[in-house]
Structure 1
Amino acid sequence: MTQTPLQTEAGSADPAAAASRCTPEFRANPHPVYAELRKTAPVCPLQPPHGVETYLITRYDDARAALADPRLSKDMYGALDAYHRIFGDSSIALDDNMLFSDPPKHTRLRRIVQGAFTTRRVELLRPRLQQVAEELLDRCPTDASIDLLTNFAFPLPLQVICELLGVPEGERERAHQWATTVAKTGFGPEGKKALAEAEGKLRDFLVDLVARKRSTPGDDLMSALITAQDQDGALTDHELVSTAWVLFFAGHKTSAYLIGNAVYHLLSKPDQQRAALASPESLKLAIEEMLRFEGSVESSTFRHATEDIPMRGVVIPKGALVQIAITSANRDPEVYAEPDRLDVTRTAGQAHLSFGHGPHYCIGAPLARLEMQIALTTLFRRYPEVTLAVPPHEVRWLTVPFPAFRGLTELPVVLDPERIAD
């Protein structure tokens, strides 16, 4: 039998090949690699660039179980040496939050924050979200090609999360640029240096923002978090800064890439675009399918094994890091028929894992869904003939140090092709 690039002579996946997840070729189309891993090595040891022993989980059932497994800890202090080796010392100041903690601390932090992101509270943001979407499209030129990510997909969730947190308008772009540096730096000495510098600036900015909100509270989430308490007490200043950071970072990056991915696939598949936009109910269904098909979170954040964990004939050793390949799980053929086909009318199959599962299920999922809904309806209502400005295969995907995000580097479109023709 001819070996695939992912197979050794024994037929198991080659960890070195699996580590090729970091190459531009993989980033352009990771799905064939994940398909092979699901078959030959669903729990695969990696050789990642950060040098810390890591295992990758690729099948849906395993991924769903792992996301809720208390033996896979999110507490960064439990794997402090590994954390330092990957990110350096600077990241810790921003990572004392619900994303990197276990119960009971995680329960306390999440309970304080979650009231702002209920479906009912998020729905109250609809008029403002709609206004921002209209204003952004008002400013877009229609007689030339534009990058829809820069002009629309990123500014929409960025403006909304900044308004929620009370970030002054003149300070938002700087914070966005620092967050972009954090998302795109590598593991080498230069990357860690840039990471430390950006995180230091973000930390100082957020410390100052907390201080200003303490002295002059406003009608915003940050002011509410400063005064919020539960039965275990209020957030410390350190927790406030770190919580603000994770809400800011996750609250715009993931949504922006979701919007970009969705628009790209709908423009590439006109029949799916028509079906998705047929009615408000069809759009809600379509959004869930687009989240499954090409969500913006490719792999979970790191977990570490607190004991030896047997899985699929492999033992994940105590102390090893674990990543869960959400993109792979969402295309598992054991769960979804024809998983590599976008079908916006799809109803069969289990719930996708794009927002996670278990205690760490994404607290911002209702907001992300609403932002996608408003972005897509507003764009295609105002510009029903919008088209890609380049062939679909020329659109470039993110190349990042490790595959956390799945998204485009840019999305060139023409909003009104008739104006270009004229």
Structure 2
Amino acid sequence: MVTIDPNTFNADPFPLLHRMREEAPVQRAEFLDGLGRPRWLITRYDEALAALNDLRFSSDLFAVMAQGENPQGPETGLVTEAIKRAEAVQGRAMANLDPPDHTRLRKLVVRAFSAKRMEALRPTVQEVTDTLLDAVAGQDEFDLLETLAYPLSIRMVCTLLGVPADGVEVFRGAAAVLAGFMDDDDWARETIRNLEAFDGYVRQLLADKRDDPRDDMLSDLIHSTEEGGRLSEEELVAMAGLMIFAGHETTVQLIINAVLALHLNPQQMAALRADHGLLSSMTDEVMRYDGPINPGINRVALEDIEIGGVTIPKGSSVIIATAAANRDPRAFRDPDRFDITRSPDTTHLGFGHGIHYCLGARLAKIEAECAIGTLLRRYPRIALATEPENLRWRPGFLRMAEEFRIRVDIPSLSADVPAASPHRAGENVHA
């Protein structure tokens, strides 16, 4: 059995994932994260794709664990209370449900994530991006996380949901604790405090929008119907929780990983500077090459399941290791090479697959395209202020940097640098 320490794994997960993938497509691993149970990792592309399409691998982790079919982690104390609080907030999120509950919820919310609605947000994404970077104009070094990635992502989630300005920090506080687990009382206290504040805030917001609906997603979801059904209040709270987790933290790290990959691959950076029409393919390549969810997507086996020549016992915790599958040489040519012009012969699994494919994928790509495109237009040179091997990474199944400082060259007033302006992927804009 492989032993994985999240504190060291997240610094560079790919050598271990590569070894596991080439040794066997399915094998057990012990994570030193305090949850107290081994997990099975599915690391090859074909097996990962099959598992994502196999409903015997349940997404309803909280329900299966509550039935006692999984080895138990912490049983008492603040950590358990924090886990229960997270379950209360996210347990009814559709990402954590199986059919038929998942099917009903997805039908109710899918219209709210239409491509037209997401594209309509592009000018707002660009406006927020410009405003955030205007705030550091003249500075040749800043933390990209705090300056752009975090505030852009959380503001767009709040804009989409219709959350007033006074709720942004409440949402960000919830996002910070939902992104990872630590077997630690201080973490537990912070989690309980932030999620209680989030739960209370969202319920009051829902009450306000029932009385005074606006042109926003929460108002639409409150009144959305499908075959006579509506979202319950718990499901609406869970939907807001899912948005800040799946639609905020992951997008933050998509932006950071894009800058990191471009920095480490200067020829790709030059190609993107020369042709901003590559922004869309760049974001897909980042999701394949170094997506924020690492090692992958959590599931629970509802019965004994044979996959990759191995039988995973009923009740086992499973990670469909999309990070490993996305670098499988059986599926991708030269998979460890970052190539923003890569031909999409094989679909990457960075946004999931099947019934749980990420509804917010389009918005995440728009945010990354605007963020990276604007950085390239504004700055003739972008480089890391810290050597890549010295970056600090948070433990958890989202591979999140703790800080990401960059140095930029500030163009002179006479430099011919195009002003930031909205553009759509596919336009040929030269920086």
- Tell me if both proteins adopt one fold, taking TM over 0.5 as the criterion: yes
Aligned Cα root-mean-square deviation (Å): 2.0
CA deviations 1:235-262 (Å, max 9, x no partner) are 0111111111111222111111100110
- Superposition deviation, residue 417 in structure 1: 5.2
- CA deviations over 1:55-87 (Å, ceiling 9, x no partner): 111111111111111110112323324498466
* Shift in alpha-carbon separation, 1:147–1:50, aligned structure 2, 3 A: same
Residue 17 of structure 2, aligned match among 34, 37, 62: 34
The 1:102–1:232 alpha-carbon spacing in structure 2 relative to 1, beyond 3 Å, is farther
Deviation, structure 1 residue 118: 1.9
CA displacement 1:215-251 (0-9 Å, x = unmatched): 2222211111111111141101111111111112221
Pairwise mapping of residues 42-121 of structure 1 onto structure 2 (< 5 A)? 42-48=25-31, 49-75=34-60, 76-80=62-66, 81=68, 82=70, 85=73, 88-95=83-90, 96-121=92-117
Bigger shift: residues 341-350 or 119-128? 341-350
Identity %: 37
SS class of match (2:173)? helix
Paired residue type of 1:248:
I
Q: Distance in 2 between matches of 1:45 and 1:155?
A: 38
Alignment partners' CA distance in 2, 1:155 and 1:84: 37
CA contact (8 A) 1:142 1:415 kept: no
Deviation at 1:346, TM superposition (A): 1.3
Partners of 1:41 and 1:99 lie apart in 2 by 28
| Deviation of the 1:263 alpha carbon | 1.1
Contact persistence 1:178–1:199 (CA under 8 A)? yes
Match of 2:136 among 136, 140, 149: 140
Query: How far does residue 392 in structure 1 lie from its aligned partner after superposition?
Result: 3.1
Which deviates more from structure 2 when the two are superposed, residues 205-214 or residues 325-334? 205-214
Contact 1:108 1:232 (C-alpha < 8 Å) held by counterparts: no
Aligned partner letter, 1:416: D
- Matching residue of 1:407: 400
Cα drift, residue 47 of structure 1: 2.0
Query: Matches of 1:353 and 1:60 in 2, distance apart?
Result: 9
- Compute the TM-score of the two structures, normalised by the length of structure 2: 0.87
1:186 aligns with one of 157, 182, 185: 182
How many residue pairs are counted as aligned between the two chains?
Answer: 399
Equivalent of 1:223 in 198, 219, 226: 219
In structure 2, relative to structure 1, the CA distance for the partners of 1:85 and 1:382 (3 Å cut) is same
In the alignment, which residue of structure 2 is the partner of 1:129?
Answer: 125
Write the distance in 2 (CA, Å) between the matches of 1:84 and 1:131.
47
Q: Please give the alpha-carbon distance, in whole angstroms, between the structure 2 residues aligned to 1:190 and 1:101.
A: 29
Say yes or no: does 1:319 pair with 2:303: no
Shift in alpha-carbon separation, 1:201–1:389, aligned structure 2, 3 A? same
When structure 1 is superposed on structure 2, of 89-98 and 188-197 the one drifting more is: 188-197
SS in 2 for 1:93: helix
What displacement does 1:364 show?
0.4
Q: Which moved further from structure 2: 46-55 or 239-248? A: 46-55
Aligned partner of residue 35 in structure 2, secondary structure: coil
Match of 1:416 in 2: 409
Partner Cα separation in structure 2 for residue 317 and residue 232 of structure 1: 39
1:151 has 2:147 as partner: yes
Match of 2:208 among 193, 207, 212: 212
Q: Distance in 1 between matches of 2:49 and 2:286?
A: 19
Per-residue CA deviations over 1:19-50 (Å, capped at 9, x if unaligned) read 33x132x2111111001001113211122331
Structure 1 residues 268 and 191: alpha-carbon distance in aligned structure 2, compared to 1, 3 A threshold: same
Which range is displaced more, 188-197 or 237-246?
188-197
| Cα gap change, 1:335 to 1:301, in 2 (>3 Å) | closer
What secondary structure is seen at the aligned counterpart in 2 of 1:414? Answer: strand
Please report the TM-score for the alignment, with normalisation by the length of structure 1. 0.89
In the alignment, the residues of structure 1 paired with residue 295 and residue 203 of structure 2 have an alpha-carbon distance, to the nearest angstrom, of 30
For 2:7, give the aligned amino acid: T
* 3-state SS of paired residue (1:151): helix
Counterpart residue number, 2:289: 293
Structure 1: which amino acid aligns with 2:28? P
- Report deviation, 1:204: 1.7
Displacement of 1:359: 0.4
Which residue of the other structure, out of 356, 361, 364, is the alignment partner of 1:365? 361
8 Å Cα contact 1:74-1:101 kept in structure 2 = yes
Q: CA deviation at 1:53?
A: 4.1
1:165 aligns with 2:149: no
The offset of 1:286, in angstroms, is 2.1
**Which residue number in structure 2 is paired with residue 356 of structure 1?**
352
Corresponding residue number in structure 2 for 1:3:
none
Q: CA deviation at 1:406?
A: 2.2
Bigger shift: 290-299 or 406-415?
406-415
Which runs of 5 or more residues in structure 1 are unaligned? 1-13
2-side partners of 1:126 and 1:70: how far apart?
A: 35
